[in-house]
Structure 1
Amino acid sequence: MFDFSTQRRGSAEGRTWDNWQLMISDEDLRSSILASLLLALFTVVLMVALLVPTMVWVRLRVPGARRLIEFLCLLPLTIPALVIVVGISNVYSWVTYLLGDSPLVLTFAYVVLVLPYSYRAIDSALSAIDVATLAEAARSLGAGWPTVILRIVMPNITGGILGAAFISVALVMGEYVFASLLHFDTLPVAMAALNKSDTPAAMAAALASMIFVVLLLMALTLLSRDRHKQGASS
């Protein structure tokens, strides 16, 4: 991919970075990259805000509902993305009417898309700690529920949250069906359109997206390892 995206066209020899510079110079491609990055950020934030308090509350208050929550979170995995898009298209016409036609409104749909994978990562992290004991100890010392979740539980499941965040970012950066059928310009949609007229430039954008996800994985892995070492030393 790198070789193809840096070759000069025609009979000219040597290498060129014009296809890579297009990601900065082309306004449409640049805006689609920014939209995908913001979508990834907002999806991660909303996913964590929804899943972590809900899963902690279910474990502490209504453990009998764990199977129901698991079923609801894993349900999007069994339904094709095309079917989900067709089902929510009418709803999204109202969403865009109320919130505007920015690609960022895809955040709500993408949270549903990443639920199965994020749930598994966070559930594994919660299963590795004694949530009930930690919560009872914190409550006995006068901590409120926001404090229990933010300062007691979440620092102990950082690895699971980081894993869920990485999976979410990877899925959002590569998701095409939702954005295309709902008519939003994200990076995958822009790359597919660019591929019809300028394949080397589309190849450069695809490779840059892959490199970004790999670097993010390495950064999250190092961060999780450092936090684990700090926790072990303390």
Structure 2
Amino acid sequence: MLVLFAAFFAYPLVAMLNFSTKVPATGERTWADWQALVADEALRQSIVTSLELAVLTAVVMIVLLLPTMIWVRLRVPGATRLIEFLCLLPLAIPALVIVVGIKNVMAWVTLFAGDTPLALTFPYVVLVLPFSYRSIDAALSSIDVKTLSEAARSLGSGWPTVFVRIVLPNVVSGVLSAATITVALVLGEYTFSSLLNYLTMPVQIAAIYKVEARAAVAAAFASIVLVALLLLVLSYVSRDRRTKEGSVA
């Protein structure tokens, strides 16, 4: 079963690599399209932009979502369902509708922040909210946040100390899971960046495909490998953290 599972994912990658290195007319192997990708300044810039967006989106998402969820659980538990509804709402709204809805807001963002692709951070945060919320919510549900905070407060700790030294270390695995999902979604997102006319990695790959199919497949293969490696690193860090927490317990 494991072999079949591996073959299911490996076969398309092998086919992509084969297509991107094979000359149809002669059947010879060539790395010309791969060499062209290395020399493509626009593709390199789009990769850097997508990585910057992934990091910024993950940071903004954590800074906004984690304190809000902790505060609601401690001070306004009755608002939990409302927060859950608001965070899951983007799942029910098509990406095209979201883009049309936030276009006027993006005009104000670019007015103050400049016309930079990094302005996509704000709509991307909306995009990843449902998935990040579930990861962090599962981590918070596994601990008794109220009891831990009350115990810390009774010993003289302030709210910043409760958040940073008491609650946060217990939900790091959930935060890392949310960050992993965020990175995966941002690096593969096409609709927002295309409709808002920003050059990210998926948009540039689509542009290459219109000119040279083999080069586009090579770029897609490289992007899949890059994203997979990033996710493996994040997953390893998260798993290593959980292992250490289990050994301490």
Q: What band does the TM-score fall into relative to the shorter chain? A: over 0.9
Matched, 1:82 2:124: no
Report what 2:41 is aligned to.
27
Match of 2:220 among 195, 206, 217: 206
Q: Deviations over 1:19-48 (max 9, x none)?
A: 334443211111111000000000000000
Deviation at 1:212, TM superposition (A): 2.1
Q: Which moved more, 1:146-155 or 1:126-135?
A: 146-155
Percent identity over paired residues: 61
Q: Which moved more, 1:163-172 or 1:108-117?
A: 163-172
Question: Aligned partners of 2:156 and 2:119: how far apart in 1?
Answer: 39
The correspondence of residues 44-123 of structure 1 with structure 2, limited to 5 A, is 44-123=58-137
Q: Deviations over 1:203-232 (max 9, x none)?
A: 122112222222223222222222122112
The unaligned stretches of length 5 or more in structure 1 are none
Question: Aligned partners of 1:104 and 1:3: how far apart in 2?
Answer: 35
Q: Which moved more, 1:106-115 or 1:88-97?
A: 88-97
Matched, 1:190 2:184: no
Report what 2:180 is aligned to.
166
Matched, 1:15 2:30: yes
Report what 1:130 is aligned to.
144
Question: Aligned partners of 1:206 and 1:140: how far apart in 2?
Answer: 55
Give the TM-score normalised by structure 2.
Answer: 0.88
Deviation at 1:148, TM superposition (A): 1.8
The unaligned stretches of length 5 or more in structure 2 are 1-15
Deviation at 1:113, TM superposition (A): 0.4
Q: Deviations over 1:68-116 (max 9, x none)?
A: 0001001111000000101111221221122111100000000000000
Deviation at 1:8, TM superposition (A): 4.0
| Matching residue's letter, 1:11 | T
Give the TM-score normalised by structure 1.
Answer: 0.94
**Structure 1 residues 185 and 141, CA, compared in 2 at 3 Å: closer, same or farther?**
same
